[in-house]
Amino acid sequence: MEQGIDSHKPLEYINNIWSANYLKLKRKRGKTVKSRIQEIDSGIFCIKIPQPFYPDTNVFLLEGKELTLIDAGFASQETVTTLSVSLKYLGYSLPDLSTIIYTHPHVDHVGGGVFINREVKVKNIGYRGQPSGEEEDFESFTANARKGVLKDGMDILKDNLPRIKKEDLFNYIENYFLPVGKVERIVDVRDRETLDLGGIKIMVVHTPGHSSYHICLYEPIRKILFSGDLLIGRLSPLLNVRDFLKSLARIRQYEIRLILPGHGPVRKWPEKVIVRAEQTVQRYEQKILGALDGGRHTVMDIVGKLYSRAPENIVEYLAQAGMVMSFLRMFTHEGRISCREVDEKLFYELN
Ligand SMILES: [Zn+2]
């Protein structure tokens, strides 16, 4: 899984892209420390950590007898700064942190942990149990993203990306899936394990789909689900669609009052959120199969048919293309479509 990834350069690399291209823009929004922090329940705070391409990552601070973070934000020194300032606002400092739990190994959740660990000693907890199988195919996954998504998309978007170099974006994408193992001294958790975080007990629920290693964390007393990227506002691109649906069914078994997602606002109607996610999957499935009717198509052809207007920026583009890729992988795996490479471009057609 880590083959071909230099263990240090990528983080610095994306940190540079981040700093050079986006930080100024984010600063212009003029967010104050106070506006980055929200008290969700007594002793549970959400701290919003900025990141370059997607909406801010929600990092949750649990105030038990010890201080725990759920997720650590994007791989950037700026994350450490934002966290330090936020902790100070709440009467703490970075060395007060005891534990960080990671919901899944993507750069906007684990990345900040690598930078935090360079400054303070914390206990790192993540799920590295059995992947569902898709992760083993990580190399072809990124190779397909290069050919099938980025090549086309970069041409279409070139006028809208004056500040981003194509290679930078390729590198960014390939390093988005950051193994939890990049964080040193990681302690592995098991599915259904209960963690005692300074008196706050939470249960680990393995919920693959968005990532094979994705976990949600359930706090049974207040009936709160920290849902990572399993349930964020709009559906996020999925590594495995079928796993995702199974994970939704699993989450349903728990009595949930509040969903605290990895991005976006707190969700108060869990059942509605879950049903909406299931319906969205069904809708995409039908629409993408419909778009594949008659002849062969590139990912961008399908994106063009699926969405009413062309993506205007990189965030929209990656979300749309990533979503289409999720389903194309599933259809290919199920033998419903075939994929052929012609002149380094990938074409898909119905079987
Ligand atoms: Zn995320």
Instruction: Break the chain into its structural domains and give their ranges.
Output: 9-282
Tell me the CA–centroid distance for residue 233 and ligand 1, in Å: 11
Tell me the CA–centroid distance for residue 46 and ligand 1, in Å: 15
Q: pLDDT per residue over 204-236, tens digit each?
A: 999 998 888 899 999 999 999 999 999 887 677
Tell me the CA–centroid distance for residue 343 and ligand 1, in Å: 33
Tell me the CA–centroid distance for residue 259 and ligand 1, in Å: 15
**């007594």: which residue's tokens?**
42
Tell me the CA–centroid distance for residue 267 and ligand 1, in Å: 16
Up-side HSE of residue 226: CA atoms within 13 Å toward CB?
Answer: 28
Q: What type of residue is 52?
A: P
Tell me the CA–centroid distance for residue 54 and ligand 1, in Å: 8
Tell me the CA–centroid distance for residue 349 and ligand 1, in Å: 31
Predicted model pTM: 0.84
Tell me the CA–centroid distance for residue 100 and ligand 1, in Å: 16
342 and 152 Cβ atoms separated by less than 8 Å: no
Token couple for 276: 């909406």
214 and 207 Cβ atoms separated by less than 8 Å: yes
Tell me the CA–centroid distance for residue 228 and ligand 1, in Å: 7
Tell me the CA–centroid distance for residue 55 and ligand 1, in Å: 8
Mean per-residue pLDDT for 270-297?
92
Lowest average pLDDT, out of 35-39, 42-46, 75-79, 160-164, goes to 160-164
Give the CATH H-level superfamily of domain 9-282.
Ribonuclease Z/Hydroxyacylglutathione hydrolase-like (3.60.15.10)
Confidence of residue 4 (pLDDT cuts 50, 70, 90): very low
Averaged pLDDT score across all residues of the chain: 80
Tell me the CA–centroid distance for residue 196 and ligand 1, in Å: 25
Lowest average pLDDT, out of 233-242, 269-278, 337-346, goes to 233-242
Tell me the CA–centroid distance for residue 106 and ligand 1, in Å: 7
Instruction: Using alpha carbons, select from 113, 80, 78, 87 the residue that is nearest to residue 185.
Output: 113
Instruction: Using alpha carbons, select from 235, 224, 237, 261 the residue that is nearest to residue 57.
Output: 261
Widest pairwise Cα distance in the chain: 62
Tell me the CA–centroid distance for residue 347 and ligand 1, in Å: 28
